[in-house]
Amino acid sequence: MRRYPYVLGVIAMILGGISTLGAAIGLFIQAMWGAKNPLLDLMKSMPHARRGPDPTQMIDQMQTLMVELQPWLQGFTAARLLLSIALLVIGYGLIKRTARARRMAIYWSALGLVMVTAFLLFQLLVLQPKMAPITDAFMAQAGPGASIARNIQSTSQTIGVFIGALFSAAFPVILLAFLTRSSAKNDFTEA
């Protein structure tokens, strides 16, 4: 009997546990602090370079933007929490080699890929365009070399978004690759 259902189950439980913890902490912090992040207030109180731009206006604008986007961010975090809890249960079922867990893992993977795509689109079409004017205004205060720095920052941010999406999509794709093969049905039992 092949061992991949057990291995996938263990990986699912580990990833599900880590993601559940992260999403639960994220929702707790969002509920406790709202969009008013005390770390940003701490950043505002720190001294800045004498000749450099003053970050307090940018931080205030970012906090206002986070208030505006909070329902979206909480929705994505809540969805991640639910998918993570489901992954824990699915992982246990994969370890036990139940056919139901195999089917649920396939559905979870498809839903996970939809979620990754939705969050990627949110970041590219909503979050980054709303952050760009704030960052541009801040960089404009920094002097003539700021436009180059802004282009580098924007490109790095976009690359980071895509790399994050690739990492997020990796496990759902691996599950689909292993569990949708025709021979995979033989590795699971109806319970």
Which has more confidence, 190 or 100?
A: 100
Across the chain, what does the average pLDDT equal?
88
What's the confidence (pLDDT) of residue 95? 96
The pLDDT of residue 191 is 67
Strand partners, 189: 98
Beta-carbon-side half-sphere exposure of residue 122 (alpha carbons within 13 Å): 15
* Least confident stretch, 5-9, 50-54, 90-94: 50-54
DSSP-derived secondary structure letter, 36: -
Whole-angstrom distance, CA of residue 165 vs CA of residue 8: 20
Per-residue confidence (pLDDT) for residue 77, from 0 to 100: 94
Are 142 and 106 in contact by the 8 Å Cβ rule? The answer is no
Which residues in 88-122 are b (16+ Cβ under 10 Å) and which e? Answer: bebbbbbbebbeebbebbbebbeebbebbeebbeb
**pLDDT above 80 (res 139):** no
Q: What are phi and psi of 142, to 5 degrees?
A: -80, -15
- Percent pLDDT > 90 in the chain is 55
Give the pLDDT confidence of 71-118 residue by residue, as tens digits. 999 999 999 999 999 999 999 999 999 999 999 999 999 999 999 999
Q: Higher confidence at residue 95 or residue 44?
A: 95
| Stated pTM of the model | 0.84
Residue 3 or residue 150, greater confidence: 3
**For range 45-67, the mean pLDDT:** 76
